[in-house]
Structure 1
Amino acid sequence: MMEPVIQLERVTKDYGGGRGVFDLSFAVGRGEVVGFLGANGAGKSVTMRLLMGFVRADGGRATLGGRPCFADRAAIQREVGYLPGELALPGDMTGRSFLAFVAGMRGTALPCRANALIDFFELDPSAKLRAMSKGTRQKVGIVAAFMHGPAVLLLDEPTSGLDLLMQRRFVELVRAEKRRGATILLSSHVLGEVEGTCDRALFVRSGRLTSEACAADLTLDATLEHLYGAEALRRRWGDAAEGRAAGNRSAAPSDSVDLGRSPASSERGGVR
């Protein structure tokens, strides 16, 4: 691995009832794009919030570029491109006024790059945020995260609500950022998104890192086994075992499979 930019060392944040992250350790090297995969509630969003300094860890050490995330949170929040999993936007603002507000919080005017991203995602920034669809608000969040050309991006379910065309445009954008040398941690439920953008994938279950794999080697079955375990994978195929043994391996295409659903529901049609 190249010089680590994102680093967690035995980080714990315990919300009780098994919620949070526990003894979590991993690193993302400079210029790497790393997928962060887990079922709903596995601890992905908590990890992103710890890295942004929005919450303080109970134990361990989290750093970005060698800086402690909580102690240096003001600078980190200005510099890092962050897209939260639950995007809450002020409804009385237009898209453009919100983007200008975000730029002001970073101490700059609205960058020219914002207009290029607005065009790329076919976004009408003149509409009020409350009048926008979920997918359109998500585009605003993406522009806000990328418009200042950050060296580090933390993206939590970035294509949630986007249609297939915009998902593909997002993949193009991440690939361009990788060529630029950005370091990216990308949480996703969409296998094709991870395959199309990431160097490797980290798997988290119940707040603990369980495994990692080269993104190019991921298959649907292998990914589900990483996420849920071998027994869950056997349950996934359950009644279809005989058909699969006979060569009938039908499944949803990997670029649309929702990995946040249980293996059983994925088999019944867990796609989006």
Structure 2
Amino acid sequence: MKAIEISHMTCDYGHGKGIFDISFTIDEGEVFGFLGPNGAGKTTTIRHLLGFIFAKEGNCSILGMDCGKQAATIQKKLGYIPGEINLWEEMSGMQFLKFMAKFRGMKDMGRCEELMERFELDPSGRIKKMSKGMKQKVGIVAAFMHDPQILILDEPSSGLDPLMQNVFVDLIQEEKMKGKSILMSSHMFEEVERTCDRIGIIKDGHIVCVEDAQTLRQSKKRRYQIRFANINEVVRFQQEGFYITAMHKHMVEVEIHKNLAKLIQTLSHYEVEDIDVTHQSLEEIFMQYYGGEHHGE
């Protein structure tokens, strides 16, 4: 049984807005990265999974349960962080967490206390006066404290400082080791690279790519920064036909995908002082689907 299954789901808002024939699955114990710019359809997809809206065509299920018909049962096994944290501002953070614990029938607040300590959260103040980062911490604790089997996280580390982002990545990796299934929409590409098993990219309401994260990593292009001995060598190298992405004085940066042997052979005929390599980021791979970036050698 798949933890999450979306099959040919369509919700057409008109004027090209919505999602169209969306299909993908998430296995038990898998972290699935769901990437796309604002307006691409990520939040609409997530709202269907939560049972907030219903597809005009197709269907979606969580743990074999229909998201539209069995939303109340699914909620007991689900942790959710919305893209825009919107909490009851007149409550204190602790009042909100206790309310959520009572709503879920939790008897033990031990996990809640552990998460508060981990994220350095003092929940005693009123939510109204909390910073965005503090509110985000409250949302994270609320989503994880009942030990849910399924987690749906929409921009979960938004507003966190770099230290707390690392704490969050560690938490995701631990939950994955426990066999939890996680759908995570994020603009933090390093976060996605460090946590996700597979990655789906959505563009204009259509899934354009679903790939193993390892496959995407292996498909990365490499950029080599080559420092030549003099400007004459630079001018001569420009005629070799490599895809040059940058030049500065005696330094030339070339982009290579597979043809590294050709570059090495060519450079053997030049006076080279230094070579450095930079790897293409997942963000750059993602942008290929939106900007038609050159693919290099």
TM-score range, shorter chain: 0.7 to 0.9
Closer, same or farther: CA 17–256 of 1 in aligned 2, 3 Å: closer
Q: Secondary structure at the match of 1:15?
A: strand
Task: Provide TM-score, normalisation by structure 2.
Answer: 0.75
Residue aligning to 2:193: 195
- The question of whether the paired residues in 2 share the 8 Å contact of 1:193 and 1:255 is answered with no
Name the Cα RMSD after superposition: 2.8
- Conservation of the 8 A alpha-carbon contact between 2:244 and 2:254: no
**Match for 1:94: what amino acid?**
S
Where do 1:208-247 residues align within 5 Å?
Answer: 208-218=206-216, 240=245, 243-245=252-254
Q: What pairs with 1:158-169 in structure 2 (closer than 5 Å)?
A: 158-169=156-167
Indicate the residue corresponding to 2:111 in structure 1.
Answer: 113
Question: Quick one: which amino acid aligns to residue 132 of structure 1?
Answer: M
Task: Give 1:109 deviation, angstroms.
Answer: 3.9
Q: 1:128 to 1:254 in 2, by over 3 A?
A: farther
Rounded to whole Å, the distance in 2 between the matches of 1:37 and 1:140 is 24
Indicate the residue corresponding to 1:152 in structure 2: 150
| 8 A contact 2:217–2:282 mirrored in 1 | no
Q: d(CA) in 1 for partners of 2:218 and 2:3? A: 29
Q: Is the 8 A contact 2:244 2:253 kept in 1?
A: no
For residues 20-56 of structure 1, the C-alpha deviation after alignment (integer angstroms, 9 at most, x for no partner) is 2110000001111111111111111111111010111
Residue of structure 1 equivalent to 2:49: 51
> Using the alignment, how far apart are the partners of 1:24 and 1:83 within structure 2?
22
Question: Aligned partners of 2:32, 2:177: CA distance in 1, in Å?
Answer: 14
Alignment of 1:31-50 (within 5 A): 31-50=29-48
Q: Percent identity?
A: 44
The equivalent of 1:233 in structure 2 is none
1:43 to 1:221, Cα distance in 2 relative to 1, 3 A: farther
Between 73-82 and 105-114, report the one with greater CA deviation. 105-114
Provide the residue aligned with 1:24 in structure 2. 22
Give structure 1 stretches of 5+ with no counterpart: 224-237, 265-272
| Corresponding residue number in structure 2 for 1:226 | none
Q: Do the aligned partners of 2:80 and 2:151 also contact (CA within 8 Å) in 1? A: yes
Cα distance between partner residues in 2 of 1:117 and 1:104: 17
**Contact 1:195 1:218 (8 Å CA) reproduced:** no
* Bigger helix share: 1
Q: C-alpha deviations, 1:204-260, integer Å up to 9, x for none?
A: 11111111222234459959xxxxxxxxxxxxxx99455532888779x95999x79
Q: 1:133 to 1:263 in 2, by over 3 A?
A: farther
TM-score (norm 1): 0.82
**Which moves more between the two structures, 103-112 or 157-166?**
103-112
**Counterpart amino acid of 2:84?**
E
The letter for the 1-side match of 2:12 is D
The alignment of Structure 1 onto Structure 2 pairs a total of residues equal to: 245
Q: Which has the higher strand share?
A: 2
Residue in structure 2 matched with residue 71 of structure 1 by the alignment: 69
* CA separation of 1:122 and 1:254: change in aligned 2, threshold 3 A: farther
Distance 2:219 2:179 in 1: 31
Higher Rg: 2
Following the alignment from structure 2 to structure 1, what is the Cα–Cα distance between the partners of residues 218 and 93?
37
Encode CA deviations 1:62-82: one digit per residue, 9 max, x unaligned.
000111001111122232001
